Structure 1
Protein backbone atom coordinates (compact mmCIF):
# COMPACT_ATOMS: atom_id res chain seq x y z
CA UNK A 1 0.00 0.00 0.00
CA UNK A 2 1.56 3.31 -1.04
CA UNK A 3 1.66 6.29 1.32
CA UNK A 4 -1.10 8.61 0.22
CA UNK A 5 -1.16 12.30 0.93
CA UNK A 6 -4.16 14.43 1.82
CA UNK A 7 -3.98 16.26 -1.51
CA UNK A 8 -4.62 13.03 -3.40
CA UNK A 9 -8.10 12.53 -1.98
CA UNK A 10 -9.26 15.95 -0.76
CA UNK A 11 -12.15 17.75 -2.40
CA UNK A 12 -10.75 20.75 -4.20
CA UNK A 13 -11.56 23.51 -4.48
CA UNK A 14 -13.50 23.64 -1.24
CA UNK A 15 -16.81 25.45 -1.27
CA UNK A 16 -16.41 28.27 1.25
CA UNK A 17 -18.75 30.91 2.61
CA UNK A 18 -18.41 34.28 4.27
CA UNK A 19 -19.34 34.86 7.91
CA UNK A 20 -22.22 37.13 6.92
CA UNK A 21 -24.05 34.44 4.90
CA UNK A 22 -27.48 33.66 6.32
CA UNK A 23 -28.18 30.29 7.87
CA UNK A 24 -30.93 29.78 5.29
CA UNK A 25 -28.53 30.41 2.40
CA UNK A 26 -25.85 28.15 3.91
CA UNK A 27 -28.40 25.39 4.43
CA UNK A 28 -29.60 25.71 0.83
CA UNK A 29 -26.01 25.63 -0.45
CA UNK A 30 -25.25 22.47 1.52
CA UNK A 31 -28.36 20.77 0.15
CA UNK A 32 -27.63 21.90 -3.42
CA UNK A 33 -24.00 20.72 -3.34
CA UNK A 34 -24.65 17.62 -1.18
CA UNK A 35 -22.05 18.65 1.38
CA UNK A 36 -22.03 18.75 5.17
CA UNK A 37 -19.22 21.19 6.01
CA UNK A 38 -18.47 24.75 4.93
CA UNK A 39 -15.22 26.50 5.80
CA UNK A 40 -15.93 30.13 6.69
CA UNK A 41 -13.50 32.60 5.12
CA UNK A 42 -13.29 36.34 5.77
CA UNK A 43 -10.94 38.50 3.67
CA UNK A 44 -9.14 35.37 2.49
CA UNK A 45 -8.56 34.09 6.02
CA UNK A 46 -10.14 30.96 7.52
CA UNK A 47 -12.17 32.11 10.53
CA UNK A 48 -14.38 29.11 11.23
CA UNK A 49 -16.29 26.12 9.95
CA UNK A 50 -20.00 25.36 10.00
CA UNK A 51 -21.59 21.94 9.65
CA UNK A 52 -25.02 20.74 8.65
CA UNK A 53 -25.46 19.69 12.28
CA UNK A 54 -24.77 23.26 13.45
CA UNK A 55 -27.43 24.54 11.07
CA UNK A 56 -29.90 21.83 12.05
CA UNK A 57 -29.42 22.61 15.74
CA UNK A 58 -29.95 26.34 15.16
CA UNK A 59 -33.05 25.67 13.09
CA UNK A 60 -34.48 23.41 15.78
CA UNK A 61 -33.69 25.86 18.59
CA UNK A 62 -35.30 28.74 16.72
CA UNK A 63 -38.28 26.59 15.68
CA UNK A 64 -39.25 25.69 19.23
CA UNK A 65 -40.61 29.15 19.95
CA UNK A 66 -41.61 30.47 16.54
CA UNK A 67 -44.30 30.08 13.94
CA UNK A 68 -43.30 29.33 10.33
CA UNK A 69 -43.14 32.94 9.17
CA UNK A 70 -41.08 34.00 12.19
CA UNK A 71 -38.78 31.02 11.71
CA UNK A 72 -38.01 31.92 8.09
CA UNK A 73 -37.50 35.54 9.08
CA UNK A 74 -35.09 34.61 11.88
CA UNK A 75 -33.12 32.12 9.80
CA UNK A 76 -32.67 34.69 7.05
CA UNK A 77 -31.25 37.14 9.61
CA UNK A 78 -29.16 34.62 11.58
CA UNK A 79 -25.66 34.44 10.10
CA UNK A 80 -23.13 31.65 9.82
CA UNK A 81 -20.79 33.66 12.05
CA UNK A 82 -23.13 33.13 15.01
CA UNK A 83 -23.04 29.34 14.59
CA UNK A 84 -19.58 28.55 13.26
CA UNK A 85 -16.92 26.73 15.21
CA UNK A 86 -14.09 29.20 15.56
CA UNK A 87 -11.36 26.77 16.57
CA UNK A 88 -10.66 25.05 13.28
CA UNK A 89 -8.12 22.27 12.88
CA UNK A 90 -6.46 22.32 9.47
CA UNK A 91 -4.05 20.20 7.47
CA UNK A 92 -1.84 20.68 4.42
CA UNK A 93 -2.16 18.86 1.10
CA UNK A 94 1.27 17.24 1.48
CA UNK A 95 0.47 15.76 4.91
CA UNK A 96 0.23 11.97 5.12
CA UNK A 97 -3.33 10.68 5.01
CA UNK A 98 -2.80 8.90 8.32
CA UNK A 99 -2.24 12.31 9.94
CA UNK A 100 -5.69 13.43 8.78
CA UNK A 101 -7.25 10.29 10.23
CA UNK A 102 -5.46 10.85 13.54
CA UNK A 103 -6.56 14.51 13.74
CA UNK A 104 -10.19 13.69 12.97
CA UNK A 105 -10.19 10.93 15.58
CA UNK A 106 -8.31 12.87 18.26
CA UNK A 107 -10.52 15.95 18.05
CA UNK A 108 -13.79 14.09 17.31
CA UNK A 109 -14.42 16.10 14.15
CA UNK A 110 -15.66 15.11 10.69
CA UNK A 111 -13.69 17.40 8.38
CA UNK A 112 -10.45 19.31 7.99
CA UNK A 113 -9.98 22.32 5.74
CA UNK A 114 -6.82 21.86 3.68
CA UNK A 115 -4.65 24.98 3.61
CA UNK A 116 -1.59 26.09 1.67
CA UNK A 117 1.57 27.67 3.13
CA UNK A 118 -0.18 31.05 3.35
CA UNK A 119 -3.16 29.59 5.21
CA UNK A 120 -5.52 29.88 2.24
CA UNK A 121 -8.18 27.17 2.02
CA UNK A 122 -7.42 25.01 -1.03
CA UNK A 123 -9.63 22.03 -0.26
CA UNK A 124 -11.34 19.97 2.41
CA UNK A 125 -11.00 16.38 3.54
CA UNK A 126 -13.94 14.67 5.22
CA UNK A 127 -14.79 11.35 6.79
CA UNK A 128 -16.56 10.48 3.53
CA UNK A 129 -13.35 11.01 1.54
CA UNK A 130 -11.50 8.72 3.94
CA UNK A 131 -14.19 6.04 3.83
CA UNK A 132 -14.09 6.02 0.00
CA UNK A 133 -10.32 5.59 0.14
CA UNK A 134 -10.62 2.81 2.72
CA UNK A 135 -13.17 1.00 0.54
CA UNK A 136 -10.80 1.28 -2.44
CA UNK A 137 -7.92 -0.23 -0.44
CA UNK A 138 -10.11 -3.02 0.92
CA UNK A 139 -11.18 -3.94 -2.62
CA UNK A 140 -7.52 -4.00 -3.65
CA UNK A 141 -6.63 -6.27 -0.73
CA UNK A 142 -9.48 -8.64 -1.57
CA UNK A 143 -8.45 -8.76 -5.21
CA UNK A 144 -4.84 -9.47 -4.23
CA UNK A 145 -5.93 -12.22 -1.83
CA UNK A 146 -8.13 -13.83 -4.48
CA UNK A 147 -5.32 -13.74 -7.04
CA UNK A 148 -2.89 -15.47 -4.65
Structure 2
Protein backbone atom coordinates (compact mmCIF):
# COMPACT_ATOMS: atom_id res chain seq x y z
CA UNK A 1 0.00 0.00 0.00
CA UNK A 2 1.31 3.43 -0.90
CA UNK A 3 0.14 6.99 -0.24
CA UNK A 4 -2.23 6.93 -3.23
CA UNK A 5 -3.95 3.83 -1.82
CA UNK A 6 -4.22 5.55 1.57
CA UNK A 7 -5.74 8.61 -0.10
CA UNK A 8 -8.26 6.43 -1.91
CA UNK A 9 -9.20 4.76 1.38
CA UNK A 10 -9.58 8.15 3.09
CA UNK A 11 -11.90 9.38 0.35
CA UNK A 12 -13.94 6.16 0.36
CA UNK A 13 -14.32 6.43 4.15
CA UNK A 14 -15.83 9.86 3.65
CA UNK A 15 -18.10 8.68 0.85
CA UNK A 16 -18.16 5.02 -0.19
CA UNK A 17 -20.28 6.01 -3.20
CA UNK A 18 -17.69 8.40 -4.62
CA UNK A 19 -17.04 7.83 -8.30
CA UNK A 20 -13.65 6.70 -9.55
CA UNK A 21 -13.36 9.90 -11.61
CA UNK A 22 -14.15 12.06 -8.58
CA UNK A 23 -11.53 10.25 -6.50
CA UNK A 24 -9.02 10.46 -9.35
CA UNK A 25 -9.47 14.20 -9.72
CA UNK A 26 -8.62 14.69 -6.05
CA UNK A 27 -5.53 12.45 -6.00
CA UNK A 28 -4.28 12.97 -9.56
CA UNK A 29 -5.13 9.63 -11.20
CA UNK A 30 -7.44 8.61 -14.02
CA UNK A 31 -10.74 6.91 -13.20
CA UNK A 32 -9.44 3.62 -14.64
CA UNK A 33 -6.29 3.79 -12.48
CA UNK A 34 -8.42 4.39 -9.38
CA UNK A 35 -10.68 1.46 -10.33
CA UNK A 36 -7.68 -0.85 -10.73
CA UNK A 37 -6.38 0.21 -7.32
CA UNK A 38 -9.78 -0.23 -5.64
CA UNK A 39 -10.17 -3.66 -7.28
CA UNK A 40 -6.73 -4.64 -5.94
CA UNK A 41 -7.56 -3.32 -2.45
CA UNK A 42 -10.74 -5.42 -2.51
CA UNK A 43 -9.00 -8.57 -3.78
CA UNK A 44 -6.23 -8.13 -1.16
CA UNK A 45 -8.97 -7.80 1.52
CA UNK A 46 -7.74 -4.35 2.54
CA UNK A 47 -11.26 -3.18 1.70
CA UNK A 48 -13.55 -5.77 3.26
CA UNK A 49 -16.83 -4.40 2.02
CA UNK A 50 -18.89 -1.33 1.25
CA UNK A 51 -21.71 -0.44 3.59
CA UNK A 52 -24.01 2.27 4.81
CA UNK A 53 -24.16 3.86 8.23
CA UNK A 54 -27.65 4.53 9.52
CA UNK A 55 -28.26 7.05 12.29
CA UNK A 56 -29.18 4.81 15.26
CA UNK A 57 -31.70 7.37 16.52
CA UNK A 58 -33.56 7.31 13.20
CA UNK A 59 -33.31 3.51 13.11
CA UNK A 60 -34.83 3.31 16.59
CA UNK A 61 -31.65 1.98 18.23
CA UNK A 62 -30.78 5.04 20.29
CA UNK A 63 -30.27 3.36 23.68
CA UNK A 64 -26.71 2.22 24.10
CA UNK A 65 -24.45 0.90 26.82
CA UNK A 66 -20.86 -0.13 27.32
CA UNK A 67 -20.69 -3.36 29.26
CA UNK A 68 -17.73 -4.89 31.02
CA UNK A 69 -17.98 -8.67 30.83
CA UNK A 70 -16.47 -10.82 33.58
CA UNK A 71 -16.10 -14.58 33.02
CA UNK A 72 -15.65 -17.58 35.28
CA UNK A 73 -12.11 -18.92 34.86
CA UNK A 74 -10.31 -18.61 31.57
CA UNK A 75 -12.50 -18.24 28.50
CA UNK A 76 -11.04 -18.26 24.98
CA UNK A 77 -11.79 -15.30 22.73
CA UNK A 78 -13.50 -17.72 20.31
CA UNK A 79 -15.95 -18.69 23.06
CA UNK A 80 -16.69 -15.03 23.82
CA UNK A 81 -17.23 -14.48 20.10
CA UNK A 82 -19.70 -17.38 20.02
CA UNK A 83 -21.59 -16.03 23.04
CA UNK A 84 -21.76 -12.43 21.81
CA UNK A 85 -22.53 -13.28 18.18
CA UNK A 86 -25.86 -14.70 19.34
CA UNK A 87 -26.97 -11.30 20.66
CA UNK A 88 -27.87 -9.03 17.71
CA UNK A 89 -27.86 -5.93 19.91
CA UNK A 90 -24.09 -6.32 20.38
CA UNK A 91 -22.56 -3.94 17.84
CA UNK A 92 -18.93 -4.10 18.94
CA UNK A 93 -16.87 -6.15 21.37
CA UNK A 94 -13.28 -6.91 22.21
CA UNK A 95 -11.16 -8.61 24.81
CA UNK A 96 -9.44 -6.13 27.12
CA UNK A 97 -6.75 -5.85 29.73
CA UNK A 98 -7.67 -5.23 33.35
CA UNK A 99 -10.18 -6.99 35.56
CA UNK A 100 -12.87 -7.43 32.88
CA UNK A 101 -12.47 -10.07 30.20
CA UNK A 102 -14.22 -8.12 27.46
CA UNK A 103 -15.81 -4.76 26.68
CA UNK A 104 -19.11 -4.93 24.83
CA UNK A 105 -21.02 -2.13 23.09
CA UNK A 106 -24.77 -2.76 22.94
CA UNK A 107 -27.44 -0.79 21.06
CA UNK A 108 -31.13 -1.35 21.70
CA UNK A 109 -34.49 0.30 21.05
CA UNK A 110 -35.09 1.20 24.68
CA UNK A 111 -34.08 0.33 28.25
CA UNK A 112 -36.32 -2.73 28.28
CA UNK A 113 -34.70 -4.12 25.11
CA UNK A 114 -31.27 -3.30 26.53
CA UNK A 115 -32.11 -5.27 29.66
CA UNK A 116 -33.21 -8.26 27.58
CA UNK A 117 -29.96 -8.14 25.57
CA UNK A 118 -27.92 -7.95 28.78
CA UNK A 119 -29.77 -10.93 30.16
CA UNK A 120 -28.92 -12.95 27.04
CA UNK A 121 -25.24 -12.19 27.65
CA UNK A 122 -25.46 -12.94 31.38
CA UNK A 123 -27.14 -16.32 30.80
CA UNK A 124 -24.11 -17.72 28.98
CA UNK A 125 -22.57 -20.44 31.17
CA UNK A 126 -19.09 -18.85 31.24
CA UNK A 127 -20.29 -15.37 32.20
CA UNK A 128 -19.97 -14.53 35.87
CA UNK A 129 -21.31 -10.97 35.84
CA UNK A 130 -21.40 -7.70 33.93
CA UNK A 131 -20.97 -4.03 34.77
CA UNK A 132 -22.87 -1.59 32.55
CA UNK A 133 -22.68 2.09 31.79
CA UNK A 134 -25.58 3.54 29.80
CA UNK A 135 -24.59 6.29 27.38
CA UNK A 136 -26.32 9.59 28.12
CA UNK A 137 -24.96 11.59 25.19
CA UNK A 138 -22.50 10.77 22.44
CA UNK A 139 -19.73 13.32 22.26
CA UNK A 140 -17.42 12.01 19.53
CA UNK A 141 -17.93 9.23 17.02
CA UNK A 142 -15.30 8.52 14.39
CA UNK A 143 -16.22 5.71 12.03
CA UNK A 144 -12.95 4.50 10.58
CA UNK A 145 -13.53 0.76 10.11
Please indicate the TM-score interval, normalised by the length of the shorter structure: under 0.3
Task: Choose between structure 1 and 2 for higher RCO, CA contacts under 8 A separated by at least 6 residues.
Answer: 1
Q: Considering fraction of residues, name the structure with more helix.
A: 1
TM-score, normalised to structure 2, is 0.22
TM-score, normalised to structure 1, is 0.21
